[in-house]
Amino acid sequence: MDHSERTASRIIFVTVGTTKFDALIKAIDDIEFADAAIGCGYNRLIVQRGAGSYIPHNLVKEGEDSGVTTKGLEVQFFQYAPSLRVNMLEAMLVISHAGAGSIFEALSCSRPLIVVPNPLLMDNHQAELGKHLAELKHLVCSTPERIVEAMQTLDTSKLVPYVRSGTTSEKAAAGIVSEISKAVGFAPRE
């Protein structure tokens, strides 16, 4: 391994979009998660924490947005950005809430994806979407409590690339999103 390979960033990018999902951010702001990330070969963790009230303090000093853990994981937290696409494209792994926009953005970037549905949201529609796309093998679905295990057991060779071209899986995923939207009143019923 040459010097450039040793120092290349192997980034995990975590996003909760514009939502409040403190349970996921707390699970990420944990030394067990950080140590597992190092063990899996990652050296940077970038976390978009959204509108939640939880302030990270385990992986960074209280009141700071960035730092380095004792085992050398570079960590950065931020609240919002105009676009998360660049973060996703730079990442070797994306961990996201199971919002449709975030899921399909990560899948369109062809990044391995672990989604964590937020069970506090109306009708638990994120769980339905995450489960459906996991069954199609486009991603892995987890919970905040099992995120370390999901990362450690992720086998990217078993993931099926998502192709935006009107494929059967895209139509199926679009269908479930449409049905969820109708059920919660965001789209007219036919």
Instruction: Answer whether residue 123 is part of any domain.
Output: yes
Q: How far apart are CA 80 and CA 87, in angstroms?
A: 12
Q: How far apart are CA 102 and CA 120, in angstroms?
A: 17
For residue 132, the domain's CATH number is 3.40.50.2000
Which pLDDT score is estimated for 176?
56
Both tokens of residue 38? 């190092």
Closest CA to 28 of 145, 112, 139: 145
Instruction: Answer whether residue 188 is part of any domain.
Output: no
Digit-coded pLDDT (tens) for 15-68? 999 889 999 999 999 999 999 999 999 999 999 999 999 999 999 998 899 999
Structural domain boundaries enclosing 73: 3-183
Q: How far apart are CA 169 and CA 124, in angstroms?
A: 21
Which pLDDT score is estimated for 70?
94
Instruction: Answer whether residue 189 is part of any domain.
Output: no
Contact present, 162 and 170 (Cβ < 8 Å): yes
Instruction: Answer whether residue 190 is part of any domain.
Output: no
Tally of domains within the chain: 1
Both tokens of residue 190? 């036919």
Instruction: Answer whether residue 40 is part of any domain.
Output: yes
Q: Is 167 helix (H, G, I), strand (E, B) or coil?
A: coil
Closest CA to 130 of 95, 103, 160: 103
Instruction: Answer whether residue 16 is part of any domain.
Output: yes
Instruction: Answer whether residue 156 is part of any domain.
Output: yes
